Structures are given as structure tokens and as C-alpha cells.
């Protein structure tokens, strides 16, 4: 049966019948007058047909084509894991008092099998706070998924979790991976990868639950529900819960653990706003606001690394050209579809490049010990309040460099920008009540 472990808790297409798995099920099935995909549960459009007349699913096509002539095979999740005698948690770090209280609360709710939310500010150490509860779950033979809508988050999480739980079988799943799937007790993956699973996990930890595309995708939200066992539970992690989650919090329909202070005890860097009149027109002429140029030159002269966020992918080339014209060189641009995205982020982390010009793809899930943050066009509609708060949260995350600068250049002060400033200020007021201080 071990050679069939890839089917444990998963719905997998096979090119030929597998006698040990029975008849299987049609991947695309008729339901009344319509057809529905059994992997992603989406309805097919009347035009979703191949030349041979077979129906096929467009919604999950990137994961391999499923048709009305394809069969899916599965084996119910058996939780077939060898549990070592030694402690599951091999992480040797320590939690602050605030972190320990949050960790105890999360563990208590897991033991009570409750769905829950951990609402903690950026840089609070959400990952480490979850470790005690995760160790408890793994020691009981649970199968666990730690998922995020952002591949960058998964790529940063996986090695940290591997080090923290060295005796636990683990796998990392994302779209461009080269390592084949292996049945494991702990799976770190993008939310898209959950489309392959069916009632597989006893506990699903959803990191950055408010991030695009998960926050607005019924397909991905449904994937989480179907990947969770009927007896399972989930934990949502976020620093910026969306309105739907906040309604649940207000109505007390989700158990919530709240932590308004970073692990090192320092308050969040404030979001400073600077006016840059008609910056978009200047950019069209390959020029940047003079105040922005002065700030970036000062960073380069001081050896300060920085992230420069721009609203759109189309802005990257123009901004990079304007920086070169201003003799601010050495950095690289990065966006979601960039094939070198992971390598470029790693280059900044290893201090091989002095700065990145980026879209909102790096608004969350990445950590650099000493980084300044600059936002050009923070009044653009692409920057939501949550996005601005998350972007600001890239600065000051390290205990050695807690005083990060965050500067936002706008043509006009907008409601979204003001709300982001108020949210950060409110979090800092609450952080002060727990002993937080300015660096």
C-alpha cells in the first residue's frame, strides 16, 4: 500500500485504471443539466468543451486538465505516521511573556478542537507562537497543513518549520516546484495546492488569510473546507483581518487570540506621508519626486537597504530607468510573474543587492533584518488599507534594528492612507498598554 500513499487524502487523476483503488469517479460529472469539476467543485460554462466533445474544467486547468473522460482516485486519509519518542519541537528559541500567553491560548483552543483566529501585528512572531500547539497536534498523529495564498510566504516558512520540527516528515508544495510530492505528516503549501486534497487534514493553519487571492476567491476558500476532515479544525493567522473576519470577531463567532505587540517589545514604525505633486506625470518623463530622490540617495550613501513599492507592474521599468538617471543604481525590479522572483528576494536577503523595486507581491510574508520601506503612489487604488499596513510592517522587524523607516509618497492624502495610519497608531496604543516602547 505504501506505493499508493500519494492517494492518501487526495483526489488524483490516473492515466489507467488502478484495481486496488476501485472504479474511481469521473473528474467532471453531470449534475442536472450542467457539469461540475470534482477537484475544484466549480461549474463548467457551456463553452468548456474539447473538439472531441468531452467537457473540461478551465478553473483548475493549471493543475492539469480534467475532463469528463478522466477519473479521479483516492484513499481515505489513514494518518500513517511514525511518531518519534523524542519531543516533536526541536526549536530552541524562547517566547516573550506576551507571545507565551498567546501560544497558551492557541494551544488551549486546539485541544478543545475549536476553529480560531490569531490576530497579531506584523512582526509579532505568529509562526513561533503556533509551535507549541503544532507540536501537540503532531505528537498525537494528526496530519497538518500550513498554507498561504502567497508562494513567497511558503518558501520562507518551509525551512523555518523544517528546523523547528526536524523529526517530522514534511513536504513543500507550490506550482513551480521540482521536488515530487511525498506523503508527509506536515505539509507546507499554497492554498491552490489544497485543490488536490480531500478530507486529508486534522488541522489547517491558514497564514495571511486576508491576502489576495484567497480573500476574494470562493474557489480557494472551498478548497480549504474540502481539505479539512469533517472532524478537523483550522487556525487563521493575520495582522490585518478583513471586514468579514472582523464581523465574526465582533459577533464572537470565531475564537480569537489577539497580540498587538511585536516579539521584541518595540512599537510599529509609523507610516509617514509626504506629498509628491503630480508624481505620475513626472514619472512619464522618467523623473521621480525630488524628495524621494534625496531620500533614496541618503539610503544608498548610508548603506541602508530598502524596498521601493510601486502600484503596478508597468511602473517597474519606468521607475528603474528614473533611478538609473538619478544615479541610484544596483537594485532590481520584481513582480508576481517574474521567473527570478525567488532569486531576487534572496539576493536582497543576502545583501547582494541594495534594494528592490517591487509591486505589492512583497507586501507580506518576507522578512529582512534591516530594511527601510518607501511607497510611491500610496494613494493609488491598488494599495488597500491592509496592504499599506502590511507593507509598513516590513520595517523594524528585527530586535537589532527595530527603528525602521516607512515613507509614503502621495499626490493627495486619501481615506485609505489615513485609515492605515490610524490602524498603526491604534495598534501602538494597545501595544503600549502591554509594555511596548519606542526604539
Pseudo-torsion of CA 320, 323, 329, 331, nearest 10°? Answer: -40
**pLDDT for res 17:** 76
CA distance 27 to 106: 38
* Intrachain domains 97-259 and 272-433 with the same fold: yes
The pLDDT of residue 338: 92
pLDDT of the residue at 119: 96
Q: What is the DSSP string of 126-193?
A: HHHHHHHHHHHHHHTT--EEEEES-HHHHHHHHHHHHHHTTTS-EEEE-TT--SPP---SEEEEEGGG
For the domain made up of 97-259, give the CATH fold: Rossmann fold (3.40.50)
Contact yes or no for 125/99 (Cβ under 8 A): yes
CATH architecture of 272-433: 3-Layer(aba) Sandwich (3.40)
- Between CA 239 and CA 392 the distance in angstroms is 12
Partners of 257 in the β-ladder:
118
Q: Which residues of the chain have pLDDT under 50?
A: 1
First vs last Cα of the chain: how many Å apart?
57
pLDDT of residue 365: 79
Sorted by where each begins, the domain ranges of the chain are 2-73, 97-259, 272-433
> Tens of pLDDT along 251-289?
988 999 999 999 999 999 999 999 999 999 999 998 999
- Are 281 and 142 spatial neighbours (Cβ–Cβ below 8 Å)? no
Q: What pLDDT score was predicted for residue 27?
A: 95
Provide the whole-model pTM. Answer: 0.91
Classify strands 332-334 and 355-358 as parallel, antiparallel or unpaired. parallel
What is the model's pLDDT at position 63? 92
Going by the DSSP 8-state scheme, the letter that residue 270 receives in this structure is P
Amino acid at each position: 500500500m505504501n506505493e499508493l500513499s500519494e492517494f492518501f487524502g487526495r483526489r488524483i487523476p490516473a492515466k489507467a485504471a488502478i484495481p486496488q483503488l476501485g472504479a474511481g469517479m469521473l473528474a467532471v460529472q453531470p449534475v442536472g443539466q450542467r457539469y461540475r469539476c470534482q477537484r475544484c467543485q466549480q461549474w463548467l460554462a457551456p463553452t468548456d468543451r474539447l473538439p472531441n466533445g468531452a467537457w473540461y474544467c478551465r478553473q483548475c486547468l493549471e493543475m492539469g486538465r480534467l475532463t469528463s473522460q478522466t477519473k479521479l482516485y483516492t484513499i481515505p486519509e489513514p494518518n500513517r505516521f511514525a511518531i518519534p519518542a523524542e519531543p516533536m519541537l526541536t526549536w530552541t528559541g524562547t517566547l516573550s511573556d506576551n507571545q507565551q500567553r498567546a501560544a497558551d491560548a492557541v494551544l488551549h483552543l486546539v485541544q478543545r478542537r475549536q476553529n480560531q483566529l490569531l490576530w497579531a501585528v506584523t512582526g509579532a512572531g505568529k509562526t513561533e507562537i503556533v509551535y507549541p500547539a503544532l507540536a501537540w497536534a503532531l505528537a498525537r498523529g494528526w496530519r497538518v497543513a500550513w498554507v498561504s495564498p502567497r508562494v513567497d510566504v511558503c518558501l520562507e516558512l518551509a525551512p523555518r518549520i523544517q528546523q523547528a520540527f526536524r523529526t517530522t516528515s514534511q513536504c513543500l508544495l507550490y506550482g513551480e516546484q521540482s521536488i515530487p510530492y511525498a506523503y508527509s505528516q506536515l505539509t507546507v503549501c499554497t492554498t491552490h495546492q489544497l485543490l488536490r486534497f480531500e478530507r486529508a487534514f486534522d488541522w489547517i493553519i491558514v497564514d495571511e488569510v486576508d491576502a489576495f487571492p484567497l480573500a476574494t476567491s470562493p474557489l480557494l476558500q472551498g478548497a480549504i473546507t474540502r481539505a479539512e476532515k469533517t472532524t478537523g479544525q483550522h487556525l487563521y493567522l493575520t495582522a490585518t483581518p478583513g471586514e468579514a473576519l472582523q464581523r465574526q470577531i465582533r459577533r464572537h463567532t470565531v475564537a480569537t487570540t489577539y497580540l498587538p505587540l511585536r516579539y521584541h517589545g518595540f512599537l510599529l514604525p509609523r507610516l509617514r506621508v509626504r506629498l509628491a505633486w503630480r508624481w505620475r506625470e513626472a514619472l512619464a518623463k522618467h523623473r521621480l519626486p525630488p524628495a524621494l530622490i534625496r531620500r533614496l540617495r541618503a539610503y544608498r550613501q548610508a548603506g541602508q537597504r530598502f524596498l521601493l513599492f510601486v502600484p503596478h507592474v508597468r511602473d517597474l521599468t519606468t521607475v528603474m530607468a528614473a533611478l538609473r538617471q538619478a544615479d541610484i543604481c544596483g537594485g532590481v525590479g520584481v513582480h508576481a510573474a517574474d521567473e527570478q522572483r525567488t532569486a531576487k528576494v534572496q539576493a536582497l536577503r543576502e545583501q547582494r543587492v541594495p534594494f528592490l523595486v517591487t509591486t505589492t507581491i512583497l507586501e507580506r510574508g518576507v522578512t529582512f533584518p534591516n530594511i527601510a520601506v518607501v511607497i510611491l503612489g500610496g494613494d493609488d487604488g491598488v494599495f488597500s488599507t491592509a496592504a499599506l499596513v502590511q507593507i509598513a510592517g516590513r520595517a523594524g522587524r528585527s530586535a537589532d534594528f527595530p527603528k525602521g523607516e516607512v515613507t509614503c509618497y502621495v499626490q493627495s492624502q486619501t481615506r485609505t492612507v489615513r485609515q492605515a495610519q490610524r490602524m498603526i497608531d491604534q495598534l501602538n496604543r494597545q501595544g503600549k498598554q502591554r509594555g511596548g516602547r519606542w526604539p
